[in-house]
Amino acid sequence: SSLVENPHHLTELGKKQAQEAAKWLSDKKIDMIFVSPFVRTRETAEIIALRLGIDISKIVVDERIHEINAGVWNGKNFKDYVLNFKQADRFDVTPEGGENYADIKKRVGDFIYDLENKFEGKNILIVSHDTPLFMLEAVSHGFNRKQTIALRGSSDHFIQNGLPRQLDFYPLPHNEEYELDLHRPFIDDIELVSEKGNKLKRIPEVFDCWFESGSMPFGEAHYPFSKQDFNPKPGPFSKILGKTKGFPADFIAEGLDQTRGWFYSMIVIGVALFGKSPFKNVVVNGLVLAEDGSKMSKSKKNYPDLMLVINRYGSDALRYVLMSSPAVHAEDFQFSEKAVDDVVKKHIGRLNNIVSFYEMYELGNSLELKSTNQLDIWIRTRLIQLNKEISDNLDCYKIDKAARPIADFIDDLSTWYIRRSRDRFKSENEMDKIAALSTTRSVLIDFAKMIAPFMPFLAEDIYKRLKGPLESVHLESWPKYTKFDQKIIDSMAEVRKICSLALEARTKAKIIVRQPLSKLSVKGKFPEPLIELIKDEVNVKEVVSDDSIVEGVYLDTEISPALKEEGTIREMVRSIQDLRKSRKFTIQDRLTLIVDTDRSLAELINKNKDYLMNATLLKDIRFSTLEGEALPFGEYLLKLDIEK
C-alpha cells in the first residue's frame, strides 16, 4: 500500500538492511535525518539514528517525500498497477485519487531546494521510497521528462531496497517542473542546422531595450564621441575638473524587478567597457502589499487611497512608515493604515507636544548654557548616540535601521527628559530654568536636522518654530557626532529600570504615585543627582543602598500621618490643574481658587497655601459656599471653582 496510514512494520530482513545501511553511513558525518511519514521508513530512520548516535527526537518527518499515492490501486496487486501505467505514461496519466510522476517531482523538488535554502553545507540523510528517491535524482540533474524516464530505464525498481546512495546536490536554474532551464549566455553556444544544412547561431549583437538604460552613465555625456564631461580613467586633476562626475555613482535605487533589468545591464556594460561597476551601492525597494499580504489591486480596492491617507495623517507619517519598513531593503511589506495612524499618535503627536510645551515657557532668546544637570547631560548624550546610529546606518544605506531609532529617541525625550524636567521649566531657580530651556531648544534643533531626510515637513516646522539660524533646516549641514560616554546612558537606563520596579511595587500595594512614601531600598550605589531623580520619579523621601535585596528594589509602603497629609495636598494640586485645563485657562492666567469643604481640609489647605498657589499658578485661595454636590476627596468632601 502507498497510504501513509498503513500499519506495515519493518520485517526482520528490513531491520537487518537498516543496520547494514547504518554501517555504511557511519563515516559520512550525518548532520540531520529527514524521513517519510510511513511507519517502515520511520523505523528505518530510528535504527540508523541510534547506530549513529543521533537523537531520534530530532528526526524530521516530511510529507513531501512519502511514497507515490496510487489512488484506487492502493491495496491491489503491484503487477496489475505496472501493466496499466507504463513508465513513459506516468508523467501524464494519473490514477483516480492518486498522483503521477509530475506531482512527485514537484513535491520532492520543493523539498530538496527547501533543504538547500535552510541547511546549506549540511550532510542530510533522506529515508524515503523508490519513486521519490528516483525523482530526487532527476531533480538534482535538472532532467526533463524524457531524461527522467531514461534515468530509470525499464526496471520497476530504481534503487535496491535498504541500499544507501550518495546524492551530490547542486542548485540549478530550473522551471516549475524542476527541469534545467538555461537562457543567455548559454544559448549563444548552441548551433542549429537549417533545412538546407546551413549552421544557424544567435546573433550576439542583438540587445534588448535595457541596453539603453545600462548605457546611461556614459551615454548622457555622449561618450566616446565627446570626452569633455566623462572620463572613466581620470587623471590627477579629475577632482578639480570634474570629469568623472557621477561615475561611479555612490548609489542607485530602484525596485526588486530591476535586478534583471537596469541593475544587471548597467553593471554588465560598465564592467565590459571600463572594468568596473558604474555604481558603488544599490538600494533595492521591495513590494508594498495590501494589509492581508495580497498584491495591491485597484479592482479589488484592497488598500486605502494614499492621497486620503496623506490628507488625513500627513505625508511625513506615511514616509516614515515606508522608510522604517522592510520595503527599503528588497523585502515585501504589508501596508496598514493603522501603522500610519500609530506614527502620528505615538511619535509626531508627541514631538509636537514637546515643541508646544517649550513654546509655553521659552524666554525669547537662544542663550546656550553648559548645564551640569544629569538630565541635560543625559539627553545630549542620547542625541549624540542617535546621531551616530543614524549616520552610520545611512552611510551603509541601511535606511530602515537609520529610521527606527528616531521613534525610541522621541519616547526618551517625551516620557523621561521633558516629564522629569517639567518643574524646571517654571522653576524660580533662573539658571536651572535657562539650562532646561536651552538644552531642550538645542536638542530639538539638532533633532530636526536628523529627522529631515525622514520627515522633512515636520523637521522644517520644528526648526521654524524654534527660530533656527538658517532660512530652512534643509540648508543646514548634517550634524557631526562626537565621542560620547556610554556610562551616562547605561547609568540612566539602570535608574529608569529601578524606577519601573518601584512603580510596579506601588501598583501592587495600590498606592498612587502622588502619595509620598518614606523610603526605597535599591541594589547598588548611585551618585546623588541620580538618587534625586529616583526620589522624584518614585515620590519617596529617601533612597538607600542595600545589596541584600533579592527583588532589585524594596519599597517601604507604610504611610505616616505627615506623608498622608502631603499626599492629600499633591492630590489637591492635580484637581486644581484638571479644573484649569477643563476651563481652558493658560499658564499666563493667574486665577483665584474658591474652596467649599469641611474644617479639617480647610485647615490643611491654609497650612499649605503658598505651595498650592505656586504649584498651580494661583493669585489667591478663598473659602466660600458653592452650589452643587460635594465630591468625595479621600476622607473629605470637596467643592472647587476658579475665577479670574
Tell if the pTM clears 0.85, that is, is over it. Answer: no
Question: Domain containing 567 — which CATH number?
Answer: 3.30.2320
Q: What's the whole-number mean pLDDT along residues 468-477? A: 96
Q: pLDDT-based confidence at 366, cuts 50/70/90?
A: low
| Residue 106 placed within a domain | yes
Tens of pLDDT, residues 376-385: 999 999 999 9
Cell readout for 509 is 500595594
Q: pLDDT-based confidence at 16, cuts 50/70/90?
A: very high
Residues 413 and 540 reside in one and the same domain: no
Q: What's the whole-number mean pLDDT along residues 208-220? A: 84
Amino acid 214 reads G
Residues 587 and 631 reside in one and the same domain: yes
Contact yes or no for 468/476 (Cβ under 8 A): yes
Contact yes or no for 455/473 (Cβ under 8 A): no
Residues near 532 by beta carbon (within 8 Å), at least 6 away in sequence: none
Task: Report the C-alpha gap between 464 and 38 in whole angstroms.
Answer: 72
Residues 117 and 240 reside in one and the same domain: no
Select from 484, 516, 534 the last residue of a domain.
484
Question: Domain containing 471 — which CATH number?
Answer: 1.10.730.10
Cα 613 to chain centroid, rounded = 48
The answer to whether residue 8 scores a pLDDT higher than 90 is no
Residues 326 and 261 reside in one and the same domain: no
> What is the pLDDT, as a whole number, of residue 400?
95
Select from 510, 533, 555 the last residue of a domain.
555
Residue 132: count of CB within 10 angstroms of its CB? 22
| Residue 181 placed within a domain | no
| Residue 110 placed within a domain | yes
Q: Would you give the end-to-end CA distance of the chain in angstroms? A: 93
DSSP state of 57: G
Tens of pLDDT, residues 253-311: 998 888 888 888 999 988 988 888 999 999 999 889 888 888 888 888 888 888 999 99
Most confident among 3-12, 146-155, 345-354 (mean pLDDT)? 345-354
| Residue 36 placed within a domain | yes
Looking at the structure of the chain, the number of domains it has is 5
Amino acid 390 reads I
Mean pLDDT of the chain: 89
Amino acid 429 reads N
Q: pLDDT-based confidence at 495, cuts 50/70/90?
A: very high
| Residue 567 placed within a domain | yes
Q: Which domain holds residue 18?
A: 12-152
Residue found under cell 547504518: 22
Q: pLDDT-based confidence at 414, cuts 50/70/90?
A: very high
Select from 462, 484, 506 the last residue of a domain.
484
Residues 341 and 439 reside in one and the same domain: yes
